[in-house]
Chains A and B, each alone.
Chain A
Amino acid sequence: MKPVYLADFGLACSLGRGKPEVLAGLRQRSQPVATRHLPGMMGGDFPYHAIPGSAGDWNERARELVRRVSEEAGGGLIRNSPLFIATSSFDIGAAERGEADIAYDLFAAKVADWLAWTGPVHVISTACTSSLNALLAAHALLASGEVEDALVLGIELDNRLTLAGFAALQLLSTTTSQPFGLHRDGLVLGEAVAALRLTTGAASRWRLLGGAHVVDGTQPTGATPSAVVAMHRQALAAAGLGAGEIDLIKVQAAGSPVNDGVEAQGLREVYADMPPLVSLKASVGHAMGASGAVELALLACCLDADAAWPACRDALDEALGVTLATVRPEGVRRVMATILGFGGSHASVVLERT
Chain B
Amino acid sequence: MKPLRITGRFDAMPPPADWREQLAMLAGGKPRRISLWTELGLYGALSCMAQAGEACLPPGAALWLGSRRGTHVATVSVIAQLRDELPMPLSFLQTQPSQSLAILGAQLGWVGSACFVAGGSPAALLQLATARMGEAGVLLGWVDDMDGGSSHWLRLYPEAGDGGRAASEPNAAHPMVDGIWSDLGAGRVKC
Q: Is B19 an interface residue (CB 8 A)?
A: no
The smallest C-beta distance from A136 to any residue of chain B, in angstroms, reads 7
Are B114 and A215 neighbours in the complex by a CB distance under 8 Å? Answer: yes
Are A38 and B79 neighbours in the complex by a CB distance under 8 Å? Answer: no
Give CA–CA (A102, B119) in the complex, Å.
12
Give CA–CA (A125, B78) in the complex, Å.
18
Give CA–CA (A38, B117) in the complex, Å.
30
Are A215 and B128 neighbours in the complex by a CB distance under 8 Å? Answer: no
**Interface residues of A: mostly helix, strand, loop or mixed?**
mixed
Q: Is A354 an interface residue (CB 8 A)?
A: no
Write the chain A residue with the least CB distance to B72: A102
Write the chain A residue with the least CB distance to B104: A217
Binds A, one of B48-56, B87-95, B174-182: B87-95
Give CA–CA (A103, B87) in the complex, Å.
21
Number of A-B pairs, beta carbon distance below 8 Å = 174
Q: Is B32 an interface residue (CB 8 A)?
A: no
Are A137 and B82 neighbours in the complex by a CB distance under 8 Å? Answer: no
The smallest C-beta distance from A71 to any residue of chain B, in angstroms, reads 25
Residue-by-residue, is B107-122 near A (CB-CB < 8 Å gives 1, otherwise 0)? 1000111111111100
Are A39 and B84 neighbours in the complex by a CB distance under 8 Å? Answer: yes
Known A-B contacts A39-B84, A146-B1, A344-B102; A126 and B115 likewise in contact (beta carbons under 8 Å):
yes
Which residue of A108, A136, A161 contacts B95 across the interface (Cβ within 8 Å)?
A161
Give CA–CA (A90, B69) in the complex, Å.
12
A311: chain B residues within 8 A (beta carbon): none
Give CA–CA (A220, B33) in the complex, Å.
13
A133: chain B residues within 8 A (beta carbon): 115
Q: Is A232 an interface residue (CB 8 A)?
A: no
Give CA–CA (A345, B112) in the complex, Å.
9
Write the chain A residue with the least CB distance to B76: A102
A214: chain B residues within 8 A (beta carbon): 111-113
Q: Which residues of B in the span 1-25 have a Cβ within 8 Å of any Cβ on A?
A: 1
**Interface residues of B: mostly helix, strand, loop or mixed?**
mixed
A212: chain B residues within 8 A (beta carbon): 113
Q: Is A270 an interface residue (CB 8 A)?
A: no
Q: Is B158 an interface residue (CB 8 A)?
A: no
Q: Which residues of A in the span 170-200 have a Cβ within 8 Å of any Cβ on B?
A: none
Are A217 and B86 neighbours in the complex by a CB distance under 8 Å? Answer: no
Are B131 and A217 neighbours in the complex by a CB distance under 8 Å? Answer: no
Are B132 and A164 neighbours in the complex by a CB distance under 8 Å? Answer: no
Are A343 and B119 neighbours in the complex by a CB distance under 8 Å? Answer: no
Q: Is B70 an interface residue (CB 8 A)?
A: yes
Are B99 and A220 neighbours in the complex by a CB distance under 8 Å? Answer: yes
Residue-by-residue, is A113-153 near B (CB-CB < 8 Å gives 1, otherwise 0)? 00000001111111101000100110011001010000000
Give CA–CA (A105, B112) in the complex, Å.
27
Residue-by-residue, is A89-120 near B (CB-CB < 8 Å gives 1, otherwise 0)? 01010011000001111011000000000001
Residue-by-residue, is A334-345 near B (CB-CB < 8 Å gives 1, otherwise 0)? 000000011111
B119: chain A residues within 8 A (beta carbon): 103-105, 107-108, 123
Are A216 and B105 neighbours in the complex by a CB distance under 8 Å? Answer: yes
The number of chain B residues with a CB under 8 A from chain A is 48
Give CA–CA (A314, B9) in the complex, Å.
54
Residue-by-residue, is B50-87 near A (CB-CB < 8 Å gives 1, otherwise 0)? 00000000000001000111101001101100111111
Give CA–CA (A120, B127) in the complex, Å.
12
B92: chain A residues within 8 A (beta carbon): 161, 164-165, 168-169
Which residue of B63, B114, B116, B120 contacts A121 across the interface (Cβ within 8 Å)?
B120
Are A137 and B86 neighbours in the complex by a CB distance under 8 Å? Answer: no
Known A-B contacts A39-B84, A343-B102; A227 and B111 likewise in contact (beta carbons under 8 Å):
yes
Q: Is A221 an interface residue (CB 8 A)?
A: yes
Q: Is B97 an interface residue (CB 8 A)?
A: yes
B76: chain A residues within 8 A (beta carbon): 102
Q: Which residues of A in the span 199-220 have a Cβ within 8 Å of any Cβ on B?
A: 212-218, 220
A144: chain B residues within 8 A (beta carbon): 131
The smallest C-beta distance from B112 to any residue of chain A, in angstroms, reads 7
Q: Is A43 an interface residue (CB 8 A)?
A: yes
Give CA–CA (A216, B103) in the complex, Å.
9
Give CA–CA (A146, B67) in the complex, Å.
24
Q: Which residues of A in the span 314-354 have a Cβ within 8 Å of any Cβ on B?
A: 341-345
B113: chain A residues within 8 A (beta carbon): 212-215
Give CA–CA (A123, B105) in the complex, Å.
21
Are A137 and B131 neighbours in the complex by a CB distance under 8 Å? Answer: yes
Besides A126-B101, A146-B1, A343-B99, 9 more A-B contacts (Cβ < 8 Å) are A40-B86, A104-B120, A122-B124, A122-B128, A161-B92, A161-B95, A215-B102, A215-B112, A342-B99
- List B residues at the A interface (Cβ < 8 Å): 1, 63, 67-70, 72, 75-76, 78-79, 82-89, 92-93, 95-99, 101-107, 111-120, 124, 127-128, 131-132
Q: For the complex of A and B, list the 7 residue pairs with the smallest distance between their C-beta atoms, beginning with the closest.
A: A343-B98, A165-B92, A104-B119, A217-B106, A217-B102, A217-B105, A140-B131
Can you list 14 A-B pairs with a CB-CB distance of less than 8 A? A39-B85, A103-B119, A122-B120, A122-B124, A136-B132, A137-B132, A161-B82, A165-B78, A165-B87, A214-B113, A215-B98, A215-B114, A220-B93, A345-B98
